[in-house]
Structure formats: C-alpha cells, structure tokens
C-alpha cells in the first residue's frame, strides 16, 4: 500500500494501543475521546487489512501482523519526532511550557522551592506539575510524553531510559533540640529506646531501616506511621519522637541529627528521562535547570 492512501496519524493510534493495551488509556495518551479512538482503530484495520488488536479479558492483544510491524512503526515515529524538534529554537525567557515531574514528597520539599526560584528568573512563563508516578509506570509515562522527568532510585538495565546521578545521601536520626534522653551521641541502645516515626506509602510492612535492624536481631519502637515526610519533621520538633531520614532532608529543619549507630547503605537518587527526548532543546535546558536546582553549589 502506498503511504498517500493512508492517514499517517493511524500509526500513532497503533503505537498508543500497543503501548497501553487499553483503548481508554490509549485515547488519553493521544488526548482524544474513546469513541474517536475506536473509530481510528476501525480505519486502521480497514487500511491495513488486518484486525491489528483483538479484545481479550485483560485488554487489547496485538495480532501477529501488529507484532511484525510495531518496531518499524515505533522507529518511524521516533524519527519523525526527532526531525520535528531538531531545529526548533528554545528561548526560556519567552517559552510557555508545562514541565511534568515525578518525585516523592521529600524530594519535592527540597527541590521545588529552588526550582521555582530559578524558573521565576529564567523562564517566568513556564509551569510545573509535580506528582508521583509508581516506579513500574515511569518508563511508559516518559515514553508517551505525559511525563518529562522523574527523580527516583537508579533503574539498572533499562536501555530506553537515560539517567543522571544526583548524588548519594546517608541516613541520620532526627531529634528535637535538647532532647531529654540524648546528649552528645547516639548509641544503638539509645536509638532502640526511642519512639520512632515511620514514613511509608504502605499501610503495613517494614522500611529500609527496619530490615537492617532485623539483620542485627533488633527492632525499633514505631509510635507513629505516616504516608508522607511533610508532617514528620514538625512532629519531631514538638515531641520526643525520632525520625530517620536522609541528611540533606534533616538539615532543612530546626532539629538535631545524629549518625546512625548501625550500618545502613546510602541512598542514591537519579534524574530519569526517555532517550527519545534528547534531541529536544527544551529538554536539554530543563535537565540542566533541574540539576542545578538540586545541586546549587
């Protein structure tokens, strides 16, 4: 079939359904309605003389023909995307763009004030949307451009994502000033006698600190479990509870913090993006901006 006889937008439809395996999510990715997506799939089936996708209980299953052509379709779309942005000039001072970032609330607490300060000076018309994307969904959201960057732990072995190390940080124990039970240093016995705040998005289950204490055959007393880090430092400031958190987070609050009296590996964070975005001048500038905001010195 000659390309003049087929709407090239239908290849975007095929790619979206193949990625999502769901018509509703594919429609959301392309910012169209589900009826419009169904209509586009019908036209693609007619043009290519194949069912392309079969509806099954868990979603849309690609046919053998679709599996045969999908890599060429993806490669062609990526080439078109690179061609479209390769010569577009980007001027931060006048750009009107929305930056979509994924990070947890602790990272947002540390990064966003510095990032917004820089944006206000260098790109005042740009907007930021910050939310958390589960780790197993990051690649998909970066690939369909519903997300520009993610800050998370390293994702080893993923050839579709690029990552830049933002550094390592060690855990410390945060306590209120002049804590009645702790003086100049923190021993393991002191640590275990304290009541602790545990931050986790899950309702149950141990954290990294608990797993390393378990290796020593020890257990801490968790008095409060919360989903987010935002409230925890303020509770530390007004109680005798302890919070174990990265040092870079602890130093933002009016608290004392102590080295942990048992070994816990340092935590590394990375900036993640999809390799297909690298030809976009706006992406290059934003990557530099975020890196400078995280490591200002």
Provide, for the chain, the percentages of residues in helix, strand and coil under a 3-state DSSP scheme, each rounded to the nearest 5. 45, 20, 35
Answer yes or no: do 216 and 148 share one domain.
Answer: no
Higher pLDDT, 75 or 113: 113
Instruction: For residue range 242-256, list pLDDT tens digits in order.
Output: 999 999 999 989 999
Instruction: For residue range 218-267, list pLDDT tens digits in order.
Output: 999 999 999 989 899 999 999 999 999 999 999 989 999 999 999 999 98
Number of domains within the chain: 3
Higher pLDDT, 189 or 281: 189
Answer yes or no: do 289 and 153 share one domain.
Answer: yes
Answer yes or no: do 190 and 253 share one domain.
Answer: yes
Angle of helix 23-30 relative to helix 34-48, nearest 10 degrees, comes to 100
Plot region of 182 (φ>0 → left; ψ -120 to 50 → alpha; else → beta) = beta
The span from the CA of 153 to the CA of 113, in Å, is: 21
Answer yes or no: do 219 and 202 share one domain.
Answer: yes
CATH number of the domain enclosing 211: 3.40.190.10
Answer yes or no: do 181 and 245 share one domain.
Answer: yes
Query: In terms of residue numbers, what domain contains 183?
Result: 171-265
- Residue that finishes a domain, picked among 24, 58, 85: 85
The span from the CA of 153 to the CA of 149, in Å, is: 13
Report the predicted TM-score, pTM, of the whole model to 2 decimal places.
0.66
Is residue 90 in some structural domain? no
Is residue 232 in some structural domain? yes
Q: What pLDDT, on the 0 to 100 scale, is given for residue 249?
A: 92
């Amino acid at each position: 079939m000659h390309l003049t006889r087929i709407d090239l937008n239908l290849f975007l439809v095929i790619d979206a359904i193949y990625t999502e395996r769901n018509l509703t999510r594919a429609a959301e990715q392309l910012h169209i309605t589900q009826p419009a997506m169904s209509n586009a799939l019908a036209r693609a089936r007619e043009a290519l003389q194949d069912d392309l996708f079969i509806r099954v209980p868990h979603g849309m299953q690609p046919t053998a023909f679709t599996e045969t052509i999908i890599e060429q379709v993806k490669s062609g779309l990526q080439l078109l995307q690179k061609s479209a942005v390769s010569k577009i000039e980007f001027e931060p001072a006048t750009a009107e763009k929305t930056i979509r970032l994924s990070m947890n609330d602790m990272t947002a607490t540390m990064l966003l004030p510095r990032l917004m300060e820089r944006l206000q000076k260098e790109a005042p018309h740009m907007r930021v949307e910050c939310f958390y994307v589960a780790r197993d969904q990051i690649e998909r959201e970066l690939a369909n451009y519903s997300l520009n960057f993610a800050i998370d732990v390293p994702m080893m072995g993923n050839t579709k994502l690029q990552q830049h190390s933002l550094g390592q940080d060690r855990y410390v124990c945060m306590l209120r000033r002049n804590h009645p039970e702790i003086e100049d240093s923190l021993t393991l016995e002191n640590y275990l006698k304290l009541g602790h705040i545990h931050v986790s998005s899950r309702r149950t289950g141990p954290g990294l600190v608990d797993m390393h204490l378990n290796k020593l055959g020890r257990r801490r007393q968790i008095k409060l479990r919360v989903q987010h880090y935002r409230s925890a430092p303020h509770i530390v400031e007004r109680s005798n509870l302890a919070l174990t958190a990265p040092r870079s987070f602890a130093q933002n609050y009016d608290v004392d913090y102590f080295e942990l009296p048992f070994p816990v590996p340092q935590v590394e964070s990375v900036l993640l993006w999809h390799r297909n975005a690298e030809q976009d001048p706006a992406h290059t500038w934003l990557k530099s901006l975020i890196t400078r905001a995280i490591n200002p010195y």
